[in-house]
Amino acid sequence: MNRGLFITFEGGEGSGKSSVIKKLIAELEGKFPLLLTREPGGTKISEEIRNIILDKENTDMDYKTEALLYCASRRQHLVEKVIPALEKNISVISDRYLDSSLVYQGYARGIGIDDVLSINMFAIENCIPDITFLFCIKPEVGLNRIASSSREVNRLDLEKLDFHKKVHDGYMELAERFSDRIYKVDAEKPFEEVYEQVQKKMLEKLKEHYE
């Protein structure tokens, strides 16, 4: 049996990716076999690991510890939820995955993209996305969106603007390095335009795979 497509969404804070995904799923559900997830994906072990990472009180967490915890959470979610679906030819859409670690831990925290990539390769064993939608937005614009919405602000949102600028630069570097799978979307455009661009590409991929 064919393996489903593994589709990921990436981007800095306030890029609007989650709203686009929500609308997309509402439209495509029932037309294609899809599973929407996000790390830690509701899996108990991943959830517990993630709670340690995002706890606002854990301000003294070592950067490599953080990277390893993300990796551990990712692996559990992958093995418990993502791979079983892909093996049933269900396409999996994940809100954030590998590239978030490469950028947030590897680039912005300064551990190095290659080191973070190598611990992740141990964890994911070559389970690389077929396509990654990268929502590109200037950090100032993204952070302003968050400030004016009601979404709860987490520990990482509170980092300085400088950190978010690094996140942006890191994503741009990845887009060049993995240009075969990373599809850039200008997320500063109005929602409808962003949505249409993503929907078009997504339909193209799904039709190519299932029809």
Binding site for ligand TYD (CB under 6 A): 13, 18, 39, 70, 95-96, 100-101, 104-105, 154, 156
108 DSSP assignment: I
Pick between residue 191 and residue 204 the one whose CB is nearest to ligand TYD.
191
Pick between residue 38 and residue 189 the one whose CB is nearest to ligand TYD.
38
DSSP per residue over 7-70, as a string? EEEEESTT-SHHHHHHHHHHHHBTTB-EEEEETTTT-HHHHHHHHHHH-TT-TT--HHHHHHHH
Please enumerate in sequence order all residues whose Cβ is within 8 A of that of 126, keeping only pairs 6 or more positions apart, or say none.
none
Do the bridges between strand 182-186 and strand 34-38 make them parallel or antiparallel, or are there none, so unpaired?
A: unpaired
Closest distance of CB 1 from ligand TYD, Å? 29
Closest distance of CB 108 from ligand TYD, Å? 8
Pick between residue 53 and residue 206 the one whose CB is nearest to ligand TYD.
53
CA neighbor of 34 nearest in space, from 82, 91, 114, 72: 91
Closest distance of CB 207 from ligand TYD, Å? 27
Closest distance of CB 80 from ligand TYD, Å? 16
Minimal CB distance to ligand TYD: which residue?
104
Closest distance of CB 98 from ligand TYD, Å? 8
Which residue type is seen at 197?
Q
Pick between residue 39 and residue 49 the one whose CB is nearest to ligand TYD.
39
Pick between residue 144 and residue 154 the one whose CB is nearest to ligand TYD.
154
Per DSSP (E only), the strands in 81-151 are 91-95, 131-136
Determine the Cα angle at 184 with ends 121 and 40, to 5°.
45
